[in-house]
Amino acid sequence: MPDLNIVDWLILLICFFLAAGIGFTLRHGIKTAGDFFQAGRAMPAWVSGLAFLAAGLGAQEVIAMGAAGARYGLRSAQFYIMGAIPAMLFLGVFMMPLYYGSKARTVPEFLRLRFDEKTRALNAIFFAASAVLGLAVVMYATARLLQALHVFDAIFLFVGLPGRWSFTLTIAISATVVLLYVFLSGLMGSIYNQVLQFFIFAAGFLPIVLLGVYKIGGWSGLMKAVPAAYLHATPGVGHADVWSMGTTGMGLVLGIVLGSGYWCTDFRVLQAAMAAENQNSARRAPLIAAFIRLFLPFLLILPGLVAIGLPTPQTTTMTRDENGAIYHEITVVPREAEEGRGLVPALMDPAGSKPIQVNGQTQLNYDMATPQLLLNVLPTGLLGLGLAALLASLMAGMAANATAFNAIFTCDLYQPYIHKGASDRHYLWAGRWATLGGILLSVGLAYAAFSLHNILETLVLIFALLNAPLLATVLLAMFWKRATGHGAFAGLASGIAVAVLHHGLTLPLDAQRGIHGGWIAVLHRYPNGMAQSFWTAIFAFCVCLAITGAVSLMTEARPDAELVGLVHSLTPGPKRIKAAWWKQPERLAAVILVAAVVLSFIFA
């Protein structure tokens, strides 16, 4: 169990009370549905930018990118940068003027304005489902993490209950805190909490990295401790098998499909930028987030690399002689730690008796890389801050899913199809009760997620199934005026269907048939779940693009006059402002892009 003292517990309690307190403080400013779902469109650029970034700092960033560092080495930093930065820049320069200028409250509502109701309904239904599922995965990751770290075990030992109850306690605490501030203050409370949680994350993770690198012997010690393959990944070699897709496939997936599919179309992150006070602020929000993201690999990926490079714990026996009496001191290390590599433990079978092996190789629980480093390097006092940083980042992801779900459900499903013509106050409360329902449903799904062994691969699979075809639809909506509603609906439905079919016919080498694929038949096996998800995204994107284009050419397009403000070529460009270069989106984006390319070559 971690050695938490009163200072550590006090830090954790303060963070929880601050999160709930923000919701109570802001509740008086939530008077209309627009305040609840769009934060009154009054957020400054820097606030929207930090919230935009923090919304993505959920399990897929904090836990999974540390796991990627431990599994794939420094090359994963290239994925982290080039898989997101170009997409975020493209969003800020070209897409936000249309999202924001259309006055759409959600992405499905933008599709209704551009196409028709059926396209909106299809996207809204699938996105609402993915938001609940995403919330459940993050909730499960939070609870499983604290259970594995035995954070609350001392409490249960004190009252005579088994430690496994910590899973339920963690879900209850995280779900209650997020429910409180989202229910009371909606998107505004979520945005300000995400800003707070980002600063807590940065303050907690910086000591982890500095002390971890110091413990391994500095940068030179890290270079000696980590195998060369982790520093310069070779396609097809061991841990780097995910890169064996080839340069063309990786470029297509990282730069266009998955990165853009998430950052350019996922309402969980877009809602922060769409709540900005004006169009220029909305455009700068993702650019501010992109600039800060350039430096995050040092906080997120480096811990995983340090964890895999440190010595593997072993059970030891020390013998000493005191006044003729011989004493044997035994330091017992759990089997999963002894069978692991560095500080990364082995994956154990459901009974916890032996490690899971595939083709004679022990499978590692990479998701525990960053948490185990945290426990091993942070002293008492800083340990509470490190745990608070983990919880803050995970809760930011939970809040993003909760606010996205309540907006999509209320604005795109409840208001147009279930209860039309109600008062503004009615929809405000509908959004609040949707928050409660979504979180309760996610709690149930979190208990069904015990078969998940890799959070990153699970979340990437969700994005591949839904965001990749949506990206093709949105790109054609904004940049091809000939695209029609019939084409968009047919393409989006076909893309999702092909993605689901591909997942049902393929399976990673280290997985059993079921939730990880192959539930129809196993026609092909991929090296791992990441490669499977990458190709799922490619097929979904390409099919959606082709079907939308073909059906659109066979159906009648809307007149140009109806598409002003919705299609890039028919919409006047944003007015140029006289200000410093960092306040001009185009120039700021150019500088960030150059920096991203330079860092990408360094990490490659």
- Model confidence at 41: pLDDT above 90: yes
Q: Identify whether 404 is part of a domain.
A: yes
Token pair recorded at residue 256 = 């266009």
Whether the Cβ atoms of residue 539 and residue 502 lie closer than 8 Å to each other? yes
Looking at mean pLDDT, say which of 73-77, 301-305, 508-512 comes out highest: 301-305
Residues in Cβ contact with 34 at an 8 Å cutoff, skipping those fewer than 6 apart: 40, 41
- Model confidence at 164: pLDDT above 50: yes
- Model confidence at 4: pLDDT above 90: no
Cα–Cα distance measured from residue 37 to residue 16, given in angstroms and rounded to the nearest whole number: 23
> Which DSSP category does 236 fall into?
T
Least confident segment among 5-14, 244-253, 494-503: 244-253
For 18-30, what is each residue's pLDDT tens digit?
Answer: 988 999 999 988 9
Q: Identify whether 526 is part of a domain.
A: no
Query: What's the pLDDT band for 253 if we cut at 50, 70, 90?
Result: low
Q: Is 506 helix (H, G, I), strand (E, B) or coil?
A: strand
Looking at mean pLDDT, say which of 19-28, 140-149, 479-488 comes out highest: 479-488
CATH of the domain at 384: 1.20.1730.10
Token pair recorded at residue 312 = 């593997």
For 539-585, what is each residue's pLDDT tens digit?
Answer: 999 999 999 999 999 999 999 999 999 999 998 877 776 777 677 88
Q: Which pLDDT does position 6 carry in this prediction?
A: 86
Q: Identify whether 257 is part of a domain.
A: yes
Q: Identify whether 552 is part of a domain.
A: no
For 203-244, what is each residue's pLDDT tens digit?
Answer: 999 999 999 999 998 988 888 887 665 655 443 333 334 444
Q: Locate tokens 């431990």: which residue? A: 70
Q: Identify whether 283 is part of a domain.
A: yes
Whether the Cβ atoms of residue 344 and residue 364 lie closer than 8 Å to each other? yes
Residues in Cβ contact with 251 at an 8 Å cutoff, skipping those fewer than 6 apart: none
Least confident segment among 165-174, 438-447, 479-488, 554-563: 165-174
- Model confidence at 414: pLDDT above 60: yes
- Model confidence at 513: pLDDT above 80: yes
Q: Which pLDDT does position 303 carry in this prediction?
A: 92
Query: What's the pLDDT band for 90 if we cut at 50, 70, 90?
Result: very high
Q: Which pLDDT does position 390 carry in this prediction?
A: 82
Q: Which pLDDT does position 234 carry in this prediction?
A: 40
Cα–Cα distance measured from residue 542 to residue 549, given in angstroms and rounded to the nearest whole number: 11
Q: Identify whether 531 is part of a domain.
A: no
- Cα 182 versus chain centre, distance: 19
H or E element: which one contains 391? helix 382-408
H or E element: which one contains 247? helix 247-252
Least confident segment among 244-248, 257-261, 283-287, 334-338: 244-248
Whether the Cβ atoms of residue 390 and residue 375 lie closer than 8 Å to each other? no
DSSP assignment of 172-211: HHHHHHHHHHHHHHHHHHHHHHHHHHHHHHHHHHHHHHHH
Structural domain including 195 reads 1-34+44-311+365-450
Q: Which pLDDT does position 478 carry in this prediction?
A: 96
For 178-201, what is each residue's pLDDT tens digit?
Answer: 999 999 999 999 999 999 989 999
Cα–Cα distance measured from residue 170 to residue 21, given in angstroms and rounded to the nearest whole number: 19
Q: Between the CA of residue 361 and those of 190, 307, 490, what are the distances in Å? A: 43, 19, 44
Backbone φ and ψ of 574, nearest 5°: -60, 145
Q: Identify whether 207 is part of a domain.
A: yes
Residues in Cβ contact with 361 at an 8 Å cutoff, skipping those fewer than 6 apart: none
Exposed e or buried b per residue across 20-58, where buried means at least 16 C-beta atoms within 10 angstroms of its C-beta: bebbeebbeebeebbbbbbbbbbbebebbbbbbbbbbbb
Q: Is 246 helix (H, G, I), strand (E, B) or coil?
A: coil
Mean pLDDT of 82-95: 91
Q: Considering only CA atoms, which of 378, 389, 436 is closest in space to residue 142?
A: 389
Least confident segment among 100-109, 414-423, 503-512: 503-512
DSSP assignment of 307-370: HHHSPPP--EEEEEEETTEEEEEEE---HHHHTSBTTBPBPBPTTSSSB-EETTEEPB-GGGHH
CA atoms within 13 A on the CB side of 445: 19
Looking at mean pLDDT, say which of 7-11, 69-73, 320-324, 433-437 comes out highest: 433-437
Q: Which pLDDT does position 231 carry in this prediction?
A: 59
DSSP assignment of 9-27: HHHHHHHHHHHHHHHHHHG
Could you tell me what percent of the chain has a pLDDT over 90?
Answer: 46
For 122-135, what is each residue's pLDDT tens digit?
Answer: 999 999 999 998 88
Q: Identify whether 26 is part of a domain.
A: yes
Mean pLDDT of the chain, nearest integer: 85
Task: Name the H helices within 27-84.
Answer: 33-38, 45-55, 59-72, 75-82
User: Residues 213, 218, 223, CA angle at the centre, nearest 5°?
Assistant: 95
| More confident site: 410 or 355 | 410
> Which DSSP category does 450 fall into?
T
Domain count, the chain: 1
Q: Which pLDDT does position 441 carry in this prediction?
A: 93
Looking at mean pLDDT, say which of 303-307, 323-327, 344-348 comes out highest: 303-307
Token pair recorded at residue 159 = 């009252």
Whether the Cβ atoms of residue 307 and residue 343 lie closer than 8 Å to each other? yes
Whether the Cβ atoms of residue 76 and residue 68 lie closer than 8 Å to each other? yes
Q: Which pLDDT does position 132 carry in this prediction?
A: 92
